[in-house]
Chain A
């Protein structure tokens, strides 16, 4: 799999190699939307092949798809762009299942894609806001490790203690 982005000759291309060996050829302007890659480019300079042993090809592909969209849209500076980006982001996270969301979030965090982390964490938050504690434990596969009585104490502390 490789991306098709060879419209301008002046743009430098980077090769990103995922943990499973899949490589992506991307414009520098797209890849540097990710803080981690930006740092590597600035530090190493001449290196064109970047290995990312913590990210699977499937999720790296999705992260780069997001970067490409946002890098492209950032170059045109007309007014409706913000709206277009918002709409595209909404579509991007709309049907993500929990497993994909988790891996994408881990990838975005590892690659320091701050804006993408914001988008994905907001999606996770929308799935859990307003839920009961028991539902959260189920969603996050968390078991309560409180001693008997401790949970009750915290719950009680959260209700009005007015004298």
Chain B
């Protein structure tokens, strides 16, 4: 009987492009020819982006969160976990979930886990981004970004991390604020310096509270901030153009959150019911157009109204057509709301899960940009060693 063993390398390569990054890394151990092929593919940027594209569309959940496991001894062990899928078996009160542990090389208490883009996780020493570590747990790589010279001089009101599709690189951005003027600096992965960004003179804001919510979605970073005279404002930064935009939310709400709907940026506006302030009703506004198409007019369209719900949940993202993932405002636990049945259900997992940080996809995107030559050398050495 014939078997997959005889498949040509080209076909094997296409099969591999559909596999999750961690499976591929593990499959290096299958035999010598798989080892060589997988090592070569991981170093091939076009394969890495094809694999990312294929697997990103497959995984619906993959939420990075904190988990407390009831452990032996007095202190429950706290760890990072990845929620990989939801199992909805029709239960009225809960949805089961599958989680797995995820390890970081840094001590948990010292760093804030803040951002994610294409499998790269961004950890900050403090919220001003004075020290930033990027990390790809699948490839077990990490990289410390250089310290900014402005770290102490100017106040940093927001940070973000994302991908510039035009220049094909990852960027970390710090927004600086001085005398009602916004400025910014960017550090590109692979370069070891911070570069100042020229900001349009029109961008004058009077910030009262900075950084209430943040999301990176499809090349744009969004920050929710509170301005003394304008109220809530959304500051956007296009990673490719390196241009800031300001959007006013379409109406005033008690609180708001950023999310994703149908592959578009979504703003959830959450308001207390007049008769009963414990009940919250929701409106979802979606960015239909590209950011730069719009001048002046609000680029958001109202798509959905739902609720009311108890306990101030914060909407995150739809994990299925009708199912919206939310975080409880009371205990930071995960909930799922069905728009059709209007039922709110708990997400259950092994141990206690809470505090979701971001959505996450495992990738083979290497942090060692610009170190390729040394990598190739060491790879060749390793292959020689195996022969």
Contacts and interface: CB of A to CB of B under 8 A. Distances in A.
B4 A158 contact: no
A121 B23 contact: no
B335 to A, nearest CB: 27
Nearest to B2: A102
Nearest to B28: A154
Interface in A45-81: none
Contacts of A118: 14
Interface stretch (B29-37, B113-121, B259-267): B29-37
B32 A160 contact: no
A58 B271 CA distance: 63
A110 to B, nearest CB: 10
Interface in A132-163: 132-133, 136-137, 139-147, 150-151, 154-155, 158-162
Contacts of B105: 160, 162
Interface stretch (B5-13, B186-194, B233-241, B285-293): B5-13
A125 B29 contact: no
Contacts of A159: 140
Given A103-B2, A139-B4, A140-B5, A124 B31 contact: no
Contacts of A155: 29
B19 A142 contact: no
A10 interface: no
Contact of A141 (B3, B18, B54): B3
Contacts of A141: 3-5
Contacts, number: 95
Given A133-B30, A151-B29, A146 B4 contact: no
A124 B5 CA distance: 12
Given A99-B1, A121-B11, A146-B386, A161 B18 contact: no
A73 B26 CA distance: 39
Interface string A119-132: 00110111011111
B179 interface: no
B4 A129 contact: no
Contact of A137 (B10, B18, B19, B30): B30
B15 A136 contact: no
A11 B32 CA distance: 50
A70 to B, nearest CB: 18
Given A103-B2, A121-B18, 16 more contacts: A98-B4, A102-B7, A121-B14, A125-B15, A128-B15, A129-B18, A132-B26, A133-B26, A133-B27, A136-B27, A142-B30, A142-B31, A144-B31, A146-B386, A154-B35, A155-B29
17 contacts: A102-B3, A105-B7, A109-B10, A121-B14, A121-B18, A122-B18, A125-B15, A128-B15, A128-B23, A131-B23, A133-B27, A137-B31, A141-B4, A146-B32, A147-B386, A150-B385, A162-B105
